[in-house]
Amino acid sequence: SLDFSPIDDKPETVVLSEVSWSSVISVIGTKHGDTIRGNDLGNVLRGGQGANYLEGHDRRDTYVIEADKACDTINNWSSDEEWDTVHLPSDHQNLAVTVRDNGDLEIRDTVSQAGACVILQNWRGGWAWQHVTFISGDFVMFQVSNTSSRPEIKPMIVGFSGRESGVEFHLATFPGNQQIMTMLGSRHNNRLYRNERNNVLSGMGGADFLKGGGGSDTYIIDCQWTWLFPITIDNEDTKETVDFLLLPEDFEDLVFEPNLPNAYLWNRKQSPCLIILMDWFKDGAHRHLMLRSQDGVVFTLPDQYI
């Protein structure tokens, strides 16, 4: 990955298709308005502060938008029909969507001027520009309708928060599952299994088992238990599409512990839930995972144990 966030004096232009950057997947920009263009590896592009220009490419890309008064602009054109993901810092109920006269889509926080603001170029240009889902700051995955003159936010979620027991839910066999991308379990022990789309999976606080794969998935951890009730993630996917794990801990408080073939994560300051990443050291099919702490640090974990 490339991290330009310490640079404080000027914006950067990064083109990952250039030979020197051709193996890079993830980029973090400066505090200014950067230009970041992806390659064909499936990228994670985070412009940082300022009015950034982010351009994806083939395969499934992830754009991370920071809270700022400036708007980021995304060129999401691609002919591969893969679903891309935009992470927004604002709660979904605070967001408004409009289509500009030039056909661009604008998503803006209507409550905070320093909230989310992103422009997707040529939204009216068709599916080559519209193959994207959004994840809000309160972890709601949604799409923007493209079938009418007035766009609307369309959440896609299945939730079991009212259940008095744990659930086992296989989204791929659920009727109409292709329209659903978010699964929220009960406060008890759940087993949640994905479909082939970009899913958001959260057990909501129990000793949960979460199974991703098929798309670019996001796991949300809600730590309310102790070591006796671990949260287990099976992230196996031979396509190795980049997935995200959102953690309720600050980066400096996290501890990484190999426990072959698995990897453990826990909090050094308090008694948290134990997070088990199944078969992390087995192969790349289990390691295609970016992690994000609650203080906004995006990172990955070692792939070898010495």
Mean pLDDT by 10 residues, the chain (306 residues): 89 94 94 94 93 93 92 94 90 92 95 91 93 86 81 84 87 80 89 92 87 91 69 94 91 93 87 86 95 90 80
247, 249, 250, 254 alpha-carbon torsion, rounded to 10°: -90
Residue 145's pLDDT is 87
| C-alpha–C-alpha distance, residues 298 and 296, integer Å | 6
Contacts for 86 with CB less than 8 Å, ≥ 6 apart: 62, 63, 65, 74, 118, 120, 132, 133, 134, 135
What's the confidence (pLDDT) of residue 176? 67
CA pair distance 296, 68, nearest whole angstrom: 14
3-state class (DSSP) for residue 15: strand
What integer pLDDT is reported at residue 204 of this predicted model? 81
- Fill in the amino acid letter for 104: D
Is 0.85 surpassed by the pTM of this model?
no
Contacts of 283 by beta carbon, 8 Å cutoff, 6+ apart: none
Nearest to 141 by CA among 30, 229, 219: 219
- Considering only CA atoms, which of 196, 242, 216 is closest in space to residue 41? 242
Tell me whether strands 289-292 and 53-55 are parallel, antiparallel or unpaired. Answer: unpaired
Residue 205's pLDDT is what?
75
Q: Spell out the residues 6+ positions from residue 173 whose beta carbon is closer than 8 angstroms to its own.
A: none
What distance lies between CA 276 and its chain's CA centroid?
Answer: 19
Distance (Å, rounded) from C-alpha 187 to C-alpha 45? 33
d(CA 78, CA 82): 8
Q: What's at 259, amino acid-wise? A: N
Q: What is the pLDDT of residue 252?
A: 93
